[in-house]
Amino acid sequence: MTEPSPLTGVDLLLFDLDGVVYAGPDPIPFAVESINFAARSIRVGYLTNNASRTASSVADQLSGFGLHAVSDDVVTSPQAAIKLLADLVPAGSVILVIGGEGLTSVVRDAGFTVTESAEDDPAAVIQGFAPEVGWKQLAEASFALNDVPARPWVATNTDWTIPVARGIAPGNGTLVAAVHNAVGRLPVVAGKPEAAIFEAAVSRFGGTHPLFVGDRLDTDILGANRAGMDSALVLTGIDRAKQVLAADAKSRPTFILSDLRQLSEPYPKVVVKTRGADLLVSVGKSTVRVSDGSVSVVARGARQIDLLRAAASAIWNAGVSIHALRVAPELYAEGSVE
């Protein structure tokens, strides 16, 4: 009997962008073909914490890759943030915006007045990532928040890093942290891993059994879990095998994929057995044992991804922190996971 795939029963398929669909200006191998295949029968939408771009510019980029996407298919963290902001300040208020066009356009479209100076007595500060954000902009945020300690502060997201064509770069979380260190408090956050952006997507697209696909445990998977939806971690972006094995209970994905082709492939069942004090976990032809504080390979099998899936389940079911276990290096070695 053929095993079900991660798409079995799914009626809404949501994708993160950076590290899942593309890295910098280029699509990730197999992503476009896999998404177009799924879109034949499932509603597809895109979620992004990146506040530097508009939904229409994101849709244009996706279309350029060969995906069928329009601006309404893209849910951005500024769109979620503006809903939070609207509950905190009066309509039409002056807002200090720290970010790029992807954020300022949403603030203006919501009827607020945009300023770049704390001297304009803004009703609130809203902050999102843009490559041009620097010390001067962060200082304005600090001036505004220190001048009026009760002044609302909304952040689109707090991703520590972002994947770009040249590698891993600082994300909005690092910029938010700089302001936090200057003002001694934290913002209200709209994007992943908060549930608001996921709930906005389900509200817009519909669906009763959504699946979210991301590349980060601390934002994508944690956020999907908080929103009560299934998730798939794809190992083409930030988090890889070592991070998967160490994932805490709140950040564990439903599925682990080496690339998006595996969305529509059979997903082998995880079989957990005990043998005396030992724990044995098998996925496909791969088996991992937890015994006396050690995690080792019993059977490698033909596919490294199945070995990783088995190792993750074994460690997650061991009942102790990964820091208390001796994990065989071959279970988390960097390299191709297929």
Is 11 among the catalytic positions? Answer: no
Q: pLDDT tens digits for 194-242? A: 998 999 999 999 999 999 999 999 999 999 999 999 999 999 998 999 9
Marked catalytic residue, from 18, 218, 239, 259: 18
Is 18 among the catalytic positions? Answer: yes
Q: What is the CATH number that goes with domain 12-49+193-263? A: 3.40.50.1000
pLDDT band of residue 76 (cuts 50, 70, 90) is very high
Q: What is the mean pLDDT of residues 260-272?
A: 97
CA 91 from centre of chain: 31
Measured CA to CA, the distance from residue 81 to residue 190 in angstroms comes to: 5
pLDDT band of residue 338 (cuts 50, 70, 90) is low
Percent of the chain exceeding pLDDT 90 equals: 89
pLDDT at residue 337 in the model: 55
pLDDT at residue 155 in the model: 97
CA 286 from centre of chain: 28
Contact 50, 190 (CB under 8 A): no
Domain range summary for the chain, segments of one domain joined by +: 12-49+193-263, 78-189, 270-331
Contact 213, 16 (CB under 8 A): yes
Q: pLDDT tens digits for 145-187? A: 999 999 999 999 998 888 777 888 999 999 999 999 999 999 9
Partnered with residue 97 across adjacent β-strands are 126
* Tokens at 259, concatenated: 């690339």
Percent of the chain exceeding pLDDT 70 equals: 98
Q: What is the CATH number that goes with domain 78-189? A: 3.40.50.1000
**Identical fold at 12-49+193-263 and 78-189?**
yes
pLDDT at residue 1 in the model: 63
Q: pLDDT tens digits for 15-36? A: 999 899 998 889 999 999 999 9
**Predicted confidence (pLDDT) at residue 190 exceeds the cutoff of 80:** yes
Q: What is the mean pLDDT of residues 266-270?
A: 97
pLDDT at residue 209 in the model: 98
